[in-house]
């Protein structure tokens, strides 16, 4: 449930003296510190939690800051532009802006964008974009003109998409709006014309945008008070062509249509927007949070002293100019659920990670309930257990599950989970799941998917606590649930893992696209182009070993072919959602002996597909020196290798007969061979190191006797 | 505190023997450990794991099994085919009985403690009746085809499980016949090994038999049906040992890879009475084979070829954070193996079967703190004295003047006279030892080397006057009537008037040598004495106990000294009490009567009684030399305990003269280098 907390004012000088309010609020390289650029001549560094300024810098009389100061996250320095063309770069220690580094550029700057993970990017008024480093190397370089003469940049924003910056800027020309997407990994600029739809006459007053895997979702607040959403693809199908994108109504009349002052909006998360402006023509200005999923107003806050119509959002704080002072309103949004949106959920529980006890105590469940209190008396170090046979709350919930509707159960469950956890929490959760599944068995139409998902996400369940859950999910081909279970359960039997694998491989792409799948283990492999690729080191002769020599002659013949094949495989053979599911399989624990017989049942074309995917991952792995994949939770090289071996062990006779697998097998054979070589080399090195160690030990041993001086103080 | 020249000696080439068996006794909280050379050691787990007793080894007596029987009786059996009972009071072997079945591989005491079963090389199982003072052969069980390597009684005493090669047999005790024979799979990682050796079995009260074998398996069998119930493959090498807790809710196994696994009986689901064995925790405290494990109520105990005895507390069973909560690794014996002749700067090293005499080198150079001085003369190996016979040396001593060496084995006492002529040494054995001088637990020479004190087992103390090349028996102090406790530690006052002797539990006795009578007895303390010494001039007796307490007792006044009372009142620094090795040697500075030198395996300390005692807030150990602080601050922060941790593991430390110390170290790496290589685990590839 989204909520605004009590706001506070950042003390200091009154701001917003300039005609356009503040120029900007930007993050600095330290959390909780923000650079505030006043419209006049001042830049102030605030520490928000302390509510006080840490530093303040001003330009000389006569100069005027034209673009908000930003922090260079790579160096920790601050950058500001004054008089459109002059760059100033300084650090915390500098006092006088007049004496710091200065660079005068040949064109006027619109804005500097800085974001974690990349160098600052400078956007010129004529639409050209440069990296800061390149600019500083040659400040007077010629800057090309990208946009036409009468176009004016209205709004800009930068995103990181797969570790590469993407810049979007909106221009206006005679009431027509254009969006430009500048990709930096591919250096492509795509232009889109924003079609306003029926509301042709309206003027767009404010923009905000968020990004997901494929689209930039551009929100615009029009003068009619409605919010429209425009989806702009990140990877354009044809960058050369001028494309059109249509905007669609997202929220109706969130602010009064003819607001005098500016209105502003900003995207908070997937489902939430913050809007600044008067809700009714006569009313005072308000900060309101809207839920776009349910089209509901979540909360709002009146700002009687008026604002400048500007709104910034960083981390958990909303910044705005309230009266003459910068006001910070902390914003919290916990996981939203239907119950929460309806306002029924009072305290939803924090889904943060469980605090794991210092050592695993295998006896807690034993000590609980069954064994008498003398047992627990002896164990003083263990936390005192509140001994009650079954907390009444869980009992109540169990009876609810027996008869009530799905929705009601969900609500009750949320309530139950919000209570603090007892030591036997995991067993209670297990019982709840079993009860839910029991009812599902009795009436097959009852499938409380959301409740089950929520229970699985408590991190305390395991397969053995609720053996039926995965079977049901398998039956329903509920891949999302299966993925979640694979991620959460430590003890899934190999047969079930294999059944999951079968479903993941056989389910068709269309139904996959619909499923909501956690994609964190997959990163976009396609854009990590060869730049990181290691040089192919086939030429180097190792100690007594040359990879080329060891390869058979026939292999060399096939070299050309397989190289072509390798190039083929650089594109992922499965769609990202399937890849995410397969990665969950790769992460799961198993024992070879029990897994092998089940792997034999997988149809041959699926085996080939999986092998292709694994081989693709392997190639991706070997592209960088650390042999890891990009992403948050990628499969490790060992997991990939183990699964390749397992699949081949189980299905070798089948795979060998499939013509399309032949090329794959050959390349697999080759890389296994190279792996063996590496291992044998490593073993050789290990032995050498041990000898070295022995030698150094002997050296120490020689000093068997010495006379030393010792002074005791 | 002063500057010393330290002879840093690392040529004491001592390698402890590997641990073969451990046996835990719940009643007395004691642990018996047998080593591959036949030595048996008794650790008192209640007294900070102090090694309070030991029985010297014997070349032909490889112990394969060790058991406690009812009434704190300790039995061992070994490859020489004998069953041995140890006398824990007199510290000798009570008797040995040949089982007539060839080498004995396994032994188990019946749950009621009245019967003893051994498994022999020829496949026979022999049942003995334990009588009050002996064991009596009762009968044979049905003979098996191959040697019986492991045995376990059912807690009711009606059945016995016996592990052999490739199979486990279950016997009915009454009839002595095999009820079931359970064949063990030889397959190991789908490769057929030649044989599968059952290294250990455990019989639970519900009829489950747990076996561990050379194929790396832990298997659960149903003894009623003779079927395999469950199989855990836990290692790529042999699983060599198993021990079950008394409650039968957890057990521990040790593997040849040095890993110890803990298994626990855990409920399958909540509120269900169905439980199953789950492998819960692996521990890797060893580098080599874990030959033996034991399970005390609060800890897992393991030992093996790498010679360490590891006591790993089960954290959930430990009630308060104290000594018991810490992992213990015991490597070195808690007694002295080194004696030193101050006058001639000689060191006598005691090994299992020989003695080495070394002369320390010298230097003329001087230097500042931390310098290594150039040697003008290196240390010399003067003598290598091999014992005759298969018995290990119990104790040895060199006289302060350097002209006498005495040592003892279990059955013989040896005294040698050394003559020094320039660089030549001649050794002359003093023959015709009196009959009563057969076996000594501790030997000590008086400061002027004219008297020899010998603590024999049975509790008597002999005083012998040494003459040029011969000796004269002066007196024997007989133990107090009724006690047979042996004296393990001796100390004599430098003026030769007083002799202090201590056993393992009773107090310290002080004898007047002039009048040859018992002078007084220091009140006994709960914890065993680990070191004793009498200070010059004052004749204060300093006693260190295994709980790290140090007492000072004035012999002339027959009472604790003022300083001792003060420190007892204030208490020792908590870090001092948390040290985990006992003090093994105490000595004094000849010119500074206020100083006491003592050391354990990881530090040595000079206690300056004139300085204030540290309290818990003071820094006990400050390795850094004081910076240029004023003398006032230095004096204010100075306290009585000056600790140095430079030399470790420290086996011996003593003052040679006012400005010279000798420190004998035994680096662990040197010991590891002499052990057989551990099982090689490939780091890369498979």
Examine residue B381 and state whether it is found in any structural domain, yes or no: no
* Single residue among A146, A177, A200 that ends a domain in this structure: A146
Is the Cβ pair B270, A431 closer than 8 Å? yes
The CA distance from A677 to the nearest CA of chain B, in Å, is 10
**Residue A386 pLDDT > 80, yes or no?**
no
CA distance B133 to B635: 63
Rounded distance between C-alpha atoms, residue A298 and residue A273, angstroms? 10
Q: How confident is the model at residue B350 (pLDDT cuts 50, 70, 90)?
A: very high
Domain membership of residue B103 (yes or no) is yes
Most confident of B420-424, B451-455, B470-474: B451-455
| Residue entry with tokens 């500016």 | A262
Q: What is the percent of chain B with per-residue pLDDT over 90, rounded to a whole number? A: 58
- Is residue A558 pLDDT above 60, yes or no? no
B187 lies in which domain range?
19-330
Please report the pLDDT score of residue B497 as a whole number: 92
Nearest CA in chain A to B7: A707
C-alpha angle B432-B398-B668 in degrees, rounded to nearest 5: 125
Tell whether B5 is within 8 A of chain A (Cβ). yes
Tell me, yes or no, whether B500 lies in a domain. Answer: no
If you average pLDDT over residues A41-46, what whole number do you get?
84
Q: Is A574 helix (H, G, I), strand (E, B) or coil?
A: coil
A389 in contact with B at a CB cutoff of 8 Å?
no
Number of domains in chain A: 3
User: What pLDDT, in 10s, does the model give residues A449-490?
Assistant: 888 888 888 877 888 878 888 888 888 888 888 888 888 888
Contact list in A for residue B371 (CB cut-off 8 A) is 708-709
CA dist., res. A176 & res. A574, Å (int)? 40
Note the maximum CA span of chain A: 97
Show the 3-state SS of A58-89: ECCCCCCEEEEEEEECCCCEEEEEECCCEEEE
Which range scores top for mean pLDDT: A458-467, B185-194, B468-477?
Answer: B468-477
Torsion of CA B511, B512, B516, B519, to 10 degrees: -60
Question: Closest Cα of chain B to A514: distance in Å?
Answer: 36
What mean pLDDT do residues A533-546 have? Answer: 42
Least confident of A11-15, A174-178, B50-54: A11-15
pLDDT value of position A47: 83
Provide the pLDDT for residue B319.
Answer: 62
Which positions in chain A touch B372 (Cβ < 8 Å)?
706-708
Strand-pairing partners, residue A462, are none
Is A683 touching B (CB cutoff 8 A)? yes
Q: Which residues of A touch B271 (CB under 8 A)?
A: 369-370, 427
**A477 in a structural domain:** yes
Is cis: bond before B18, omega within 30 of 0?
no
> Which residue among B4, B370, B378 sits closest to A705, beta carbon to beta carbon?
B378
Which one is predicted more confidently, B451 or A667? B451
Statement: residue A192 has pLDDT above 50: yes
Predicted pLDDT of residue A531: 41
> What is the dihedral sign for C-alpha A569, A573, A576, A582?
negative
Q: B606 contacts in A (CB within 8 Å)?
A: 712
Domain harbouring B320, CATH code: 2.130.10.10
- Tokens for B91, please give them: 């510290």
| A379 vs B682, more confident | B682
What is the model's pLDDT at position A132?
85
Judged by average pLDDT, the poorest of A421-435, A546-560, B671-685 is A546-560
A325-329, A504-508, A609-613: range with lowest mean pLDDT: A325-329
Confidence at residue A549, expressed as pLDDT on a 0 to 100 scale: 43
**Which is nearest to B310 in space by CA: B12, B677, B647, B580?**
B580
Quickly count: other Cβ atoms within 10 Å of residue A271's Cβ.
16
Q: Is A366 on the interface with B (CB under 8 A)?
A: yes
pLDDT at B600 over 70: yes
Residue B423 tokens, joined: 């660089």
Q: Say if A129 falls within a structural domain.
A: yes
Contact between chains at A708 and B370 (C-beta distance less than 8 A): yes
Q: Which of B19, B4, B50, B9 is nearest to B667 (CA)?
A: B9
Among B320, B321, B379, whose Cβ lies nearest the Cβ of A705?
A: B379
Comparing A258 with B105, which gets the higher pLDDT? B105
Domains identified in chain B, total number: 1
Closest-approach residue (CA) in chain B for A381: B319
Q: Is B489 helix (H, G, I), strand (E, B) or coil?
A: strand
Of all residues in chain A, the percent with pLDDT exceeding 90 is: 0
- Same domain as A476, residue A604: no
Q: Mean pLDDT across the stretch B522-540?
A: 90
For residue B545, being part of any structural domain is answered with no
Residues B365, B371, B374: CA angle, nearest 5 degrees: 40
Share of chain B above pLDDT 70, in %: 93
Q: Are strands A312-314 and B125-130 parallel, antiparallel or unpaired?
A: unpaired
What rounded mean pLDDT belongs to chain A? 76
Cβ atoms of residues B642 and A713 within 8 Å: yes
Q: Which of A455, A471, A492 is the last residue of a domain?
A: A492
Distance, CA of A181 to CA of A199 (rounded, Å):
24
ipTM value greater than 0.85: no
Q: Which of A683, A697, A705 sits opposite B361 (nearest CB)?
A: A705
Between strands A42-47 and A33-38, the pairing is: antiparallel
pLDDT at residue A240, as a whole number: 64
Between chains, do A711 and B315 touch, taking CB under 8 Å as contact? Answer: no
- The pLDDT of residue B1 is 60
Contacts of A162 (CB under 8 A, 6+ apart): A185, A523, A524, A527, A528, A630
- Which helix (H) or strand (E) is A685 found in, with range? helix A659-701
- Last-in-domain residue among A127, A146, A165: A146
Is B4 in CB contact (< 8 Å) with chain A?
yes
Q: Which domain holds residue A631?
A: 590-675
Q: How far is B244 from chain A (nearest CA, A)?
A: 17
Residue B213 lies in a domain: yes
| Residue A362 contacts B, CB cutoff 8 Å | yes
CA distance B280 to A362: 7
| Nearest one of B483, B560, B484 to B520, comparing CA atoms | B560
What is the radius of gyration, based on Cα positions, of chain B?
27
CA distances from A707 to A196, B13, B599, B622 (A): 92, 18, 19, 23
Does the pLDDT value for residue B395 go beyond 80?
Answer: yes
The answer, for A703 touching chain B at a CB cutoff of 8 Å, is yes
Asked whether residue B678 is domain-assigned, the answer is no
Asked, for residue A322, whether it belongs to a domain, the answer is no
Q: In what order do the strands lie in the sheet with A296-303?
A: A264-267, A272-277, A285-291, A296-303
Task: CATH number of the domain at A7, please.
Answer: 2.130.10.10
Contact state of B10 with A705 under an 8 Å Cβ cutoff: yes
The pLDDT score that the predictor gives to residue A623 is 76
**Interior angle at CA B11, CA A698 and CA B377, nearest 5:** 100
- Average pLDDT of the residues of chain B: 89
In a domain, B282, yes or no: yes
**Does residue A13 sit within a domain?**
yes
Domain assignment present for A35: yes
């Amino acid at each position: 449930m989204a909520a605004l907390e009590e706001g506070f004012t950042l003390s200091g000088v009154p701001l917003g003296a300039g005609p356009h309010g503040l120029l900007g609020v930007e993050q600095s390289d330290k959390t909780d510190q923000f650079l505030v650029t006043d419209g006049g001549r001042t830049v102030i560094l605030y520490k928000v939690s302390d509510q006080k300024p840490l530093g303040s810098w001003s330009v000389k009389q006569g100069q005027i800051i034209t673009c908000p100061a930003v922090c260079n996250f790579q160096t920790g320095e601050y950058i500001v532009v004054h008089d459109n063309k002059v760059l100033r770069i300084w650090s915390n220690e500098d006092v006088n802006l007049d004496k710091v580094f200065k660079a005068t550029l040949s064109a006027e700057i619109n804005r500097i964008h800085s974001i974690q993970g990349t160098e600052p990017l400078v956007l010129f008024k004529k639409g050209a974009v440069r990296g800061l480093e390149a600019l500083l190397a040659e400040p007077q370089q010629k800057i090309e003109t990208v946009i036409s003469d009468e176009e004016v940049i209205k709004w800009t924003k930068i995103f990181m998409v797969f570790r590469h910056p993407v810049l979007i800027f909106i221009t206006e020309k005679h009431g027509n709006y254009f969006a430009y997407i500048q990709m930096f990994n591919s250096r492509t600029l795509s232009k889109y014309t924003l079609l306003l739809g029926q509301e042709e006459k309206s003027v767009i007053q404010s923009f905000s945008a968020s990004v997901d895997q494929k689209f930039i979702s551009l929100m615009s607040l029009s003068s009619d008070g409605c919010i429209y959403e425009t989806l702009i693809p990140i990877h354009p199908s044809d960058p050369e062509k001028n494309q059109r994108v249509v905007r669609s109504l997202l929220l109706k009349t969130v602010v009064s249509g003819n607001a005098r002052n500016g209105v502003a909006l900003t995207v908070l998360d997937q489902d939430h927007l913050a809007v600044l402006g008067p809700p009714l023509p006569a009313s005072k200005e308000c900060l309101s949070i809207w839920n776009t999923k349910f089209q509901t107003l979540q909360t709002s806050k009146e700002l009687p002293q008026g604002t400048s119509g500007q709104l910034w959002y960083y981390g958990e704080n909303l910044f705005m100019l309230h009266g003459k002072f910068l006001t910070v309103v902390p914003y919290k949004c916990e996981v939203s659920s239907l119950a929460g949106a309806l306002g029924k959920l009072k305290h939803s529980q924090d889904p943060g990670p469980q605090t794991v006890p210092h050592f695993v105590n295998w006896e807690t469940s034993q000590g609980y309930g069954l064994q008498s209190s003398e047992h627990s008396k002896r164990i003083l170090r263990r936390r005192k257990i509140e001994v009650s046979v079954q907390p009444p709350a869980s009992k109540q919930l169990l009876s609810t599950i027996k008869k009530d509707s799905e929705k009601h159960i969900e609500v009750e469950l949320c309530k139950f989970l919000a209570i603090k956890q007892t030591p036997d929490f995991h067993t209670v959760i297990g019982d709840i799941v079993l009860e839910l599944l029991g009812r599902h068995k009795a009436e097959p139409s009852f499938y409380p998917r959301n409740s089950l998902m929520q229970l699985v996400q408590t991190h305390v369940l395991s397969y053995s606590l609720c053996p039926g859950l995965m079977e049901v999910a398998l039956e329903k081909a509920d891949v999302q649930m299966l993925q979640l279970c694979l991620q959460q359960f430590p003890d899934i039997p190999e047969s079930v893992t294999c059944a999951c694998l079968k479903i993941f491989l056989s389910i068709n792409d269309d139904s996959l696209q619909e499923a909501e799948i956690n994609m964190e283990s997959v990163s976009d492999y396609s854009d990590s182009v060869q730049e990181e690729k290691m040089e192919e080191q086939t030429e180097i002769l190792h100690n007594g070993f040359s990879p080329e020599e060891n390869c058979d002659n026939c292999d060399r013949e096939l070299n050309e072919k397989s190289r072509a094949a390798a190039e083929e495989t650089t594109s992922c053979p499965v769609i990202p959602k399937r890849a995410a599911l397969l990665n969950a399989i790769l992460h799961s624990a198993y024992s070879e002996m029990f897994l092998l017989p089940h792997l034999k049942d997988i149809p041959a074309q699926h085996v080939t597909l999986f092998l292709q995917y694994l081989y693709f991952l392997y190639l991706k792995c070997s592209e960088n020196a650390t042999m890891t994949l990009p992403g948050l939770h990628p499969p490790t090289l060992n997991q990939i290798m183990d699964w390749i071996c397992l699949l081949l062990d189980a299905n070798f006779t089948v795979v060998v007969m499939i013509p399309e697998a032949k090329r794959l097998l050959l390349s697999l054979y080759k890389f296994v061979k190279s792996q063996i070589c590496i291992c044998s080399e490593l073993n050789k090195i290990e032995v050498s190191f041990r000898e070295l160690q022995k030698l150094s030990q002997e050296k120490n041993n020689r000093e068997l006797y010495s006379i030393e001086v010792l002074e005791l103080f | 505190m002063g500057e010393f020249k330290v002879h840093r000696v690392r040529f004491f080439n001592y390698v402890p023997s590997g641990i073969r068996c451990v046996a835990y006794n719940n009643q007395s909280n004691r642990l018996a450990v047998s080593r591959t050379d036949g030595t048996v050691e008794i650790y008192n787990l209640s007294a900070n794991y102090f090694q309070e007793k030991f029985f010297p080894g014997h070349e032909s007596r490889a112990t394969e099994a060790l058991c406690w029987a009812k009434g704190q009786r300790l039995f061992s059996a070994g490859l020489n085919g004998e069953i041995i009972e140890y006398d824990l009071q007199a510290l000798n072997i009570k008797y040995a009985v040949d089982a007539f079945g060839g080498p004995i591989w396994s032994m188990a005491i019946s749950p009621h403690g009245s019967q003893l079963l051994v498994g022999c090389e020829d496949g026979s199982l022999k049942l003995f009746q334990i009588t009050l003072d002996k064991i009596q052969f009762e009968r044979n069980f049905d003979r098996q085809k191959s040697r019986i390597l492991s045995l376990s009684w059912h807690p009711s005493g009606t059945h016995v499980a016996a592990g052999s090669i490739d199979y486990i047999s279950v016997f009915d005790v009454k009839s002595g016949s095999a009820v079931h024979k359970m064949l063990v799979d030889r397959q190991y990682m789908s490769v057929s090994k030649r044989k599968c050796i059952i290294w250990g079995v455990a019989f639970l009260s519900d009829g489950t038999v747990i076996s561990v074998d050379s194929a790396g398996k832990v298997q659960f069998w149903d003894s009623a049906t003779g079927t395999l119930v469950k199989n855990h493959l836990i290692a790529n090498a042999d699983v060599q040992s198993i021990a079950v807790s008394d409650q039968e809710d957890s057990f521990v196994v040790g593997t040849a890879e040095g890993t110890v696994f803990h298994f626990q009986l855990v409920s399958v689901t909540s509120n269900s009475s169905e439980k199953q064995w789950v492998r819960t925790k692996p521990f890797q405290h060893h580098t080599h084979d874990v030959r033996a494990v034991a399970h005390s109520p609060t800890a897992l105990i393991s030992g093996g070829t790498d010679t360490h005895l590891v006591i790993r507390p089960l954290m959930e069973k430990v009630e308060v954070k104290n000594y018991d909560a810490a992992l213990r690794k015991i490597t070195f014996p808690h007694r002295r193996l080194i004696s030193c002749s101050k006058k001639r700067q000689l060191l006598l090293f005691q090994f299992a079967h020989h003695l080495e005499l070394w002369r320390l080198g010298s230097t003329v150079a001087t230097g500042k703190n931390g310098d290594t001085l150039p040697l003008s003369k290196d240390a010399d190996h003067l003598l290598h004295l091999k014992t005759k016979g298969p018995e290990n040396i119990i104790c040895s001593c060199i006289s302060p003047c350097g002209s006498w060496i005495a040592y003892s084995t279990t059955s013989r006492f040896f005294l040698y006279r050394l003559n020094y002529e320039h660089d030549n040494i001649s050794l002359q054995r003093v023959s015709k030892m009196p009959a009563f001088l057969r076996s000594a637990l501790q030997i000590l020479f008086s400061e002027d080397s004219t008297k020899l004190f010998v603590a024999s087992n049975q509790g008597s103390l002999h005083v012998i006057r040494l003459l040029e090349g011969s000796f004269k028996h002066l007196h024997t102090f007989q133990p107090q009537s009724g006690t047979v406790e042996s004296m393990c530690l001796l100390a004599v006052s430098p003026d030769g008037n007083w002799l202090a002797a201590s056993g393992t539990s009773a107090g310290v006795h002080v004898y007047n040598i002039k009048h040859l009578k018992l002078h007084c007895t220091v009140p006994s303390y709960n914890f065993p004495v680990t070191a004793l010494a009498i200070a010059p001039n004052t004749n204060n007796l300093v006693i260190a106990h295994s709980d790290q307490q140090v007492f000072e007792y004035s012999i002339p006044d027959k009472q604790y000294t003022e300083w001792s009372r003060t420190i007892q009142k204030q208490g020792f620094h908590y870090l001092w009490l948390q040290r985990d090795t006992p003090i093994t040697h105490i000595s004094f500075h000849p010119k500074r009567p206020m100083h006491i030198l003592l050391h354990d395996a990881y530090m040595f300390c000079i206690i300056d009684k004139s300085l204030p005692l540290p309290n818990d807030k003071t820094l006990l150990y400050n390795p850094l030399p004081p910076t240029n602080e004023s003398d006032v601050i230095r004096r204010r922060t100075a306290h009585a305990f000056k600790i140095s941790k430079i030399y470790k593991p420290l086996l011996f430390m003593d003052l040679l003269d006012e400005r010279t110390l000798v420190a004998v170290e035994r680096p662990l790496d040197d010991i590891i280098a002499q052990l057989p290589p551990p099982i090689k685990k490939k780091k890369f590839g498979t």
